[in-house]
Structure 1
Amino acid sequence: MFNRKPQDANFSVERLFKDIVKAFPPNLIYNSYTSKFKSRGFWSRLYNTVEAFCKQGDVNHITGDVHYLCYLMSKNKTLLTILDCGNLKRLNGIRRTIFYFLWFWLPVKKVAMITVISESTKKELLQYVRCDERKIRVIPCCISDDFKPSPKAFNSSNPVLLQIGTAYNKNLPKVAEAISGIPCHLRIIGKLSEEQISQLLAFDISYSSVSNLTDLEIIDEYIKCDALIFASTYEGFGMPIVEANITGRPVVTSNILSMPEVAGNAACLVDPYDAEDIRKGVLKIFSDEDYRKTLVANGYQNARRFKPAIVAEQYVELYKEVYLLSMHSK
């Protein structure tokens, strides 16, 4: 397994595969390598690529966003995980063209199999690259065993609404507009910009924020909240939905891309581009006790789909498939 060197405080990919690896069966022999250098600049990436070539095994699994590690590897022994296509949406011009060629077009041709974390990501990827769709397998993210059910009486007088993330796609300005005037406290996980602070003040939002939390501190934030608001405009998966599900908190999330797929019947789905629709969803969660209880019960059931052992088994079966493919190609 080949992993990137984490970029600053971003460890989402590392957390995902840490939980998967822990659930691998004891008879699976594997090695895990982390690139020596962060994925920045030509020479660092070249070193990482050569190092990966020298450490190849019977099956090579490239995780995270270091897709270029496959360039020198044996194609029939290599599989690549693509988490999303977000950068292709954000970049423009020549930068987008170069990124597309080096991170998508070429890697897709240089590996035997690709895994994505949702059907939504698979459909999106197939819009950008031409390949046999059977080459792309959907294996979801898993929920850490550190998350446990934690029932809590709903604070109907001043509910705490948890917002995970402050990046552009997390849609914080629209959420602030949506909940303006609703008695609640918005608890934000992530660093706020001056512009975001101004927007929160303009809508007279009662809020607090915190960043750089440990895994256990993040779990504690779910335990202390009354509901999760996750009206994101772009996700490859949407892990906070499942984290709130397993904790026992009702969820308001977006009705686009991967989020309905991940949430199933365990969330109130809203249009993330429509502040009024978000507002209706939040008010329904706050005012309808039976609806809240139904979402919580459905959430516990939904979270079972993403247990580490279930997800790890899917990867093990794919490793076997890639290994047999490499044997037959000799």
Structure 2
Amino acid sequence: MKAVRLIFRKPFPTAYSIEYLFNQLHKEFIQTGIPVKGETLPHYSKGLLPRLKNLLSLFKHKNEIVHVTGDVHYALLGALRSKRMLTMHDVAFIGRTKGIARLIYKWLWVKIPVALAHKVVVISEEVKTDLLEHVTIKPGKLAVVTNFIDDIYQPVERKFNAEKPRILQIGTAYNKNVNRLIRALENLPVTLVIIGKHNSEIKELLLQCKIDYIWLSGLTLQEVHAEYLKADILTYVSLKEGFGMPILEAQSTGLPLVTSNCSAMPDVAGQGAVFVDPYNVDSIRSGIVTVIKDNALREKNTSLAYLNVRRYSRERVVADYMEIYKELSA
């Protein structure tokens, strides 16, 4: 088998999910005997010159499988002397940009890297659908390999606080739909725990709606895990997601889940959730109230959730990537 080189972006302090995922896979690949090395790009992906230097840093690799693990798709352009592989976690960033920036992202992050790649991996059917709206890919070049659940997330005994449930919300970006969630919680006796970057607009709405809240940021993996264990409900009513790891993290620990009925969420969550219309405040509120009041539904969904998470084992993800590496080595 050809040597595999996992290429990582230089991570910003608050962005490390891709690195964590592939560092775990890296360890598994080594144990299976794959000749694999990890390499972090020398510069943050910000500005033209640092990105150009990142790209050129890969030109030294020859006759390997160069696997760009996410985000810095443009770096694949520097791996012209090797087999090229790209994992794409999301392409929604194209829709969030306009004008020249949109054209740059579309061509240097999507069209050209995908054209140059010998294999493109996406993490969900949702990302696959989104990607195919922008590019045409030959059959066999595109594969879906999902993320896996970290071993830290295990079933725990829970005592549901129906009097004043603690509701966990992961993320504060626009697509996380926190504003509608807050309006849905107005006048409900709950504590909302938000993990994510601080946002003055969200804070103002929390005060306006008189929500009892706790806002946390910069947490370690262990600290985030601790918040799952303290919570009574996870709300994940995003407008759009490429995957949605909090869904599986909640399900793995037996945490009741309210999530969106669109984008990647139904596929990832299976039957172990209460689904709501994320564009409708009343629907979000109704879903949360149902979970609070219906003990039998919570127990049923927890059982279904435990069945669902079996689809996302580390072993299966490792096996899927190994098959691709073997294919590219042939």
TM-score, scaled relative to structure 2: 0.95
| Aligned residue number for residue 297 of structure 1 | 303
Q: Map Cα deviations across residues 231-264 of structure 1 (whole Å, 9 max, x no partner).
A: 0112110000000010111100111111111000
After alignment, is 118-127 or 145-154 more displaced? 145-154
| Aligned residue number for residue 179 of structure 2 | 173
Whole-angstrom distance in 2 between the partners of 1:43 and 1:206? 46
1:203 to 203, 209, 229: 209
Whole-angstrom distance in 2 between the partners of 1:20 and 1:289? 38
| Aligned residue number for residue 15 of structure 1 | 20
| Aligned residue number for residue 124 of structure 1 | 130
1:103 to 109, 113, 124: 109
Q: When the two structures are aligned, how many residues end up with a matched partner?
A: 324
User: How has the CA–CA distance of structure 1 residues 56 and 283 changed in structure 2, closer, same or farther, with 3 Å as cutoff?
Assistant: farther
Whole-angstrom distance in 1 between the partners of 2:62 and 2:232? 47
After alignment, is 188-197 or 284-293 more displaced? 188-197
1:29 aligns with 2:35: yes
Structure with the bigger RCO (C-alpha within 8 Å, sep 6+) is: 1
1:164 to 161, 170, 175: 170
Q: Shift of the alpha carbon at 1:186?
A: 0.6
Whole-angstrom distance in 2 between the partners of 1:73 and 1:190? 35
Instruction: Flag the structure with higher helix content.
Output: 1
| Structure 2 unaligned blocks of 5 or more | 1-5
Whole-angstrom distance in 2 between the partners of 1:81 and 1:191? 26
Q: Map Cα deviations across residues 50-106 of structure 1 (whole Å, 9 max, x no partner).
A: 211213452111111111121132477111011111211100112101211111111
Kindly indicate whether the alpha-carbon contact (under 8 Å) linking 2:57 and 2:78 is maintained by their aligned counterparts in 1: no
Whole-angstrom distance in 2 between the partners of 1:71 and 1:83? 18
Q: Map Cα deviations across residues 128-150 of structure 1 (whole Å, 9 max, x no partner).
A: 11222432111001111121211
Q: Shift of the alpha carbon at 1:278?
A: 0.6
Kindly indicate whether the alpha-carbon contact (under 8 Å) linking 1:233 and 1:273 is maintained by their aligned counterparts in 2: yes
1:190 to 192, 196, 205: 196
Whole-angstrom distance in 1 between the partners of 2:81 and 2:286? 50
Q: Map Cα deviations across residues 35-58 of structure 1 (whole Å, 9 max, x no partner).
A: 011112222122211211213452
State the 4+ residue runs in structure 1 displaced beyond 3 angstroms.
none
User: How has the CA–CA distance of structure 1 residues 265 and 57 changed in structure 2, closer, same or farther, with 3 Å as cutoff?
Assistant: farther
| Structure 1 unaligned blocks of 5 or more | 325-330
| Aligned residue number for residue 268 of structure 2 | 262
Whole-angstrom distance in 1 between the partners of 2:59 and 2:152? 35
1:323 aligns with 2:329: yes
Whole-angstrom distance in 2 between the partners of 1:86 and 1:281? 27
Q: Which amino acid aligns with 2:73?
A: H
Q: Which amino acid aligns with 1:32?
A: G
